[in-house]
Copies of this chain bind each other. A is one copy, B any other.
Amino acid sequence: MKTLTVDLGDRSYPIHIGQGLLNQPELVRPHVRGTQVMIVTNTTVAPLYLDKARALFDGFEVADVVLPDGEQYKNLDTLKLIFDALIEKRFDRKCTLVALGGGVIGDITGFAAASYQRGVNFIQIPTTLLAQVDSSVGGKTGVNHPRGKNMIGAFHQPQAVIIDTDTLDTLEDRQLSAGLAEVIKYGLIRDAEFFDYLEDHLLHLLARDKDQLAYAIERSCWNKAEVVAADEREAGQRALLNLGHTFGHAIEAGMGYGNWLHGEAIAAGMMQAGYMSKLMGDLTDDDLRRMADAFTTARLPIYPPDDMSPERFLELMAGDKKVQAGTIRLVLLKAIGKAYVTGDYPQELLLRTLQEWRKPA
């Protein structure tokens, strides 16, 4: 087992990574403050891991709430189901919420923990690769609004994150690939050496080699933890984590939440950002080819959906959270392993990107 610490002063917390961690109650029990534990999961994960998760908290008053599965349920109405369950069981302000599932479960449970009685304890047990390398690190929680992703939420750090790589055994291939999109992202934004490693090991990761998965998860979490520790509230550096996300969020919203997976949308979005970086004169054709090869090897899309016009992109991107007073801020690449944020680019290059980086007819 590997343990990383996310260094946030008095809100620091450990991330444990390894096999069989769902059989190790000693990892989670020190992080339960009161006597009441509410496990939040979904209809896909519950049959697989809910019993194991409940057993981790043997001796506490354990309850659970099983939500419908899917990004389309990451909204205020589903959030309310968690509050209803907590109030129904008379859970007090010393209770602990446990998120057992993917990114949607982590985000919505985290926001419930941030706002139930103005804040209760929170433990994350992410069961998808995406959640393990992304949404379980950094304290961002929230739900979607019909007109924009993650528009409503809070910064709320967990007490601990438990990543049991065995849970990846039951993950659909498509979800595994979606998680690799975020893994590749860390290489692209700040860790060229990791990108080199991934070019050689993506096939091992797709084959679910546990040692390689643990390494890739650890290095991804380490990268994210470094960024978050330097910039908890996203004033600066943290925005780099959004590479491909402004494009990708537009795809997710435009196609209807849940149709394109988040990882699929940001893979195409990272290629759009890469193409624009080439137009800006920073990436080479070879860089772009390496990116496309990596995403293709990971079985991810590299082009946006055919039926989303440049105009539709612009409309949706203008509604994104990262817009500041009308300017669409983008994360672009100076090189593989070196991202930057800018609102100062020729508008024409964004338009050309939306027009030109499309699946060849």
Residues in chain A within 8 A of chain B (CB atoms): 34-36, 76, 80, 83-84, 87-88, 90, 92-94, 111, 114-119, 140, 142, 145, 147-148, 150-155, 233, 318-319, 321, 323-325
Which residues of B sit under 8 angstroms from A321, Cβ to Cβ? 92-93, 117
Most buried by B among A115, A118, A147: A118
A34→B325 contact, CB < 8 A: yes
CB distance from A75 to the nearest CB of B (A): 10
Q: Which listed residue, B114, B145, B147, touches A154 by the CB 8 Å rule?
A: B114
Q: Which listed residue, B76, B140, B324, touches A118 by the CB 8 Å rule?
A: B140
CB distance from A103 to the nearest CB of B (A): 16
CA distance A87 to B76 in the complex (A): 15
Q: How many copies does the complex hold?
A: 2
Which residues of B sit under 8 angstroms from A324, Cβ to Cβ? 34, 92-94
A147→B87 contact, CB < 8 A: yes
CB distance from A242 to the nearest CB of B (A): 13
Closest 8 CB pairs of A and B: A118-B153, A87-B147, A92-B324, A115-B152, A117-B321, A92-B323, A35-B325, A87-B145
CB distance from A294 to the nearest CB of B (A): 31
B36→A319 contact, CB < 8 A: no
CA distance A16 to B116 in the complex (A): 31
B115→A153 contact, CB < 8 A: yes
Given A90-B323, A92-B323, A93-B324, is A118 in contact with B145 using a C-beta cutoff of 8 Å?
no
A118→B87 contact, CB < 8 A: no
Given A80-B76, A83-B151, A115-B153, is A325 in contact with B94 using a C-beta cutoff of 8 Å?
yes
What are 23 residue pairs bridging A and B, where the CB atoms are less than 8 Å apart in the complex?
A34-B324, A76-B76, A83-B145, A83-B151, A83-B152, A87-B145, A87-B147, A87-B151, A87-B319, A88-B147, A92-B321, A92-B324, A93-B324, A94-B325, A115-B142, A115-B154, A116-B151, A117-B153, A118-B140, A118-B142, A118-B155, A119-B155, A154-B154
